[in-house]
Amino acid sequence: MEVVDSCEHQNECNGSRSSESQSKATTHVHHPHRKFHDTNEFEEPKQKDVEHADAVDVESVRYPDGTVRLRNPNIELMDQDILYHLALGSGSHDLVEMFGDVKFVCMGGTPKRMEQFAYTIMAEIGHKLPCGTTLQDISQFSYRYSMYKVGPVLCISHGMGIPSVGILLHEVIKLMYHARVRDPVFFRIGTCGGIGYEGGTVVISEEAVDGALRNVLELTVLGKIVQRPAKLDKRVVRELKALADPEDPYDTITGKTMCTYDFYEGQGRLDGAFCDFTENDKMEYLESIHKSGVVNIEMESLAFAALTHHAGIKAAVICVTLLDRLKGDQVLAPKEVLDEWQQRPTKLVCRYIKRYLQMKGRLSLDGHGSVSVKSPRRFKLVQQESETYD
């Protein structure tokens, strides 16, 4: 099989906006030698920080005003683009109006967790909904993914595994393009198995590798194997790590994340429906990946890192370990404990977003809210009075 580096055809694929959309976007100025690196609002970029950006040309992924540009010339030629799994479309929805102010896209496995995350981030950033309104699942009619929007934060469930997160990323990256979002930052907040780390440890991924320790996502496109580097943003990793509080009653570490296509055999578990290896084989493998710097295993980071990197979008993966795989295979912690552990990566991402908004002067912890209680005693009385009305 021929192996093609997916960046090879990049220049052929550089899209430019259609005349209609071009008129809304700033004129495209060509900078032949400008390479993409993340313009970070927290820290000035240093030369040594941009090595990961190697093959991605800024012109291929951004318009001069910072809005997301697609590496696919077909999209702008289409009459409308239906984001089928999100139940949204460029012809049916005003995507600029709906999503133009997005800065952060936070993804996690389940719809429930992402709904909870939406309420958490809403409280953290002081985003107030108009009185009498509530958050709505924007993608509810897709019956695939759930999506909640809280001001500049989009919270989306990605399901389990590379194919699920891959489909979602295609559509969310297109959504960023249609909505003219500027320099978005993507986070995956998830769970994982630790390699030498006890349950409840927070892991910020430095990079993603596959089950054979390769730092690439491999796709078969038109019968050919295409490899995409699975790189994450080093600066965001450092910033997230710096936001870990020494007072946190758990460790926050960084390291390589292994991403597999399966939870059982693929992660060397002895307790799947099938197992053709011994406990010794399993321990030898886990010890060897541990020696190579792998600190955790999960199932989405490879696609998450590879597709965001290909799109020139800053991204980070933050997971909590549910167990130490050097000690066992089954997730045994009680539900309340698991629930508390799953709050931990969320807290770190909330701190990151809050700090960004604070620095931009966009954190509003006052203002109009849904229900604002001045006196809990009087509030209770009014509620009781109302309840007695028939």
Annotated binding site: 144, 188-191, 267, 269
The residues pairing with 23 across neighbouring beta strands, listed in sequence order, are: none
* Nearest-approach distance from CB 89 to ligand R2B, in angstroms: 28
Q: Which is nearer to ligand R2B, 34 or 327 (CB)?
A: 327
Residue numbering of the annotated binding site for substrate: 267, 269
Of the candidate residues 109, 166, 184, 211, the single one contacting ligand R2B (CB under 6 A): 109
Is residue 317 a contact point for ligand URA (CB under 6 A)?
no
Tell me the window of 35-43, 55-63, 230-238, 293-301 that interacts with ligand R2B (CB under 6 A).
Answer: 293-301
| Position closest to ligand URA via CB | 193
The torsion of the CA quartet 221, 223, 224, 227, rounded to 10 degrees, works out to: 40
193 binds ligand URA, rule: CB under 6 A: yes
The yes or no reply on residue 299 touching ligand R2B (CB under 6 A) is yes
Distances in Å between the Cα of 158 and the Cα atoms of 101, 171, 187, 227 are 21, 11, 11, 22
Contact assessment for residue 297 and residue 211, using Cβ atoms and an 8 Å cutoff: no
Report the nearest approach of ligand R2B to the CB of residue 166 (Å).
13
232/53 Cα distance (integer angstroms): 9
300 is in the binding site of which of ligand R2B, ligand URA, none (Cβ under 5 to 8 A by kind)?
ligand R2B
Verify binding: residue 190, ligand R2B, rule CB under 6 A: yes
d(CA 170, CA 340): 31
Can you give the length of the chain in residues? 390
| Minimum CB distance to ligand URA, residue 308 (Å) | 19
Site for ligand URA, residues 61 to 90, rule: CB under 6 A: none
Supply the DSSP string of 105-154, one letter for each residue: EEEES-HHHHHHHHHHHHHHHT--PPTT-----TTGGGSS--EEEETTEE
- Within a 10 A sphere around the Cβ of 272, how many other Cβ atoms? 14
Q: By the 8 A CB rule, do 158 and 145 touch?
A: yes
CA distance 179 to 136: 19
Per-residue binding letters, 144-173, with ligand R2B (x by CB under 6 A): ----------------x-------------
Closest to ligand URA by CB, 34 or 327: 327
Site for ligand URA in 278-307 (CB under 6 A): 297-299
Which positions make up the binding site for phosphate?
Answer: 144, 188-191
Nearer CB in complex with ligand URA: 311/322? 322
* Alpha-carbon distance values, 198 to 52, 188, 320, 348 (Å): 30, 21, 10, 19
Q: Which residues in the chain belong to E strands, given as ranges?
A: 3-5, 82-83, 88-89, 104-108, 147-150, 153-157, 185-194, 202-209, 216-221, 224-229, 252-259, 294-298, 314-324
Q: Output the smallest distance, CB 231 to ligand R2B, in A.
A: 19
Q: Given the rule CB under 6 A, which of 126-134, 186-194, 334-342, 377-385 is the region that contacts ligand URA?
A: 186-194
- What is the Cα–Cα distance from 321 to 255, expressed in whole angstroms? 13
Q: Does 202 bind ligand R2B (CB under 6 A)?
A: no
Stretch of 58-66, 184-192, 283-291, 307-315 contacting ligand R2B, by CB under 6 A: 184-192
Q: Report d(CA 257, CA 210) in Å as an integer.
A: 9
Structure tokens, 210: 């596959």
Give the interface size with ligand R2B as a residue count (CB under 6 A): 9
Q: Which chain residues interact with ligand R2B by CB under 6 A?
A: 109, 160, 190-192, 263, 298-300
Q: Which chain residues interact with ligand URA by CB under 6 A?
A: 191-193, 263, 267, 297-299, 322
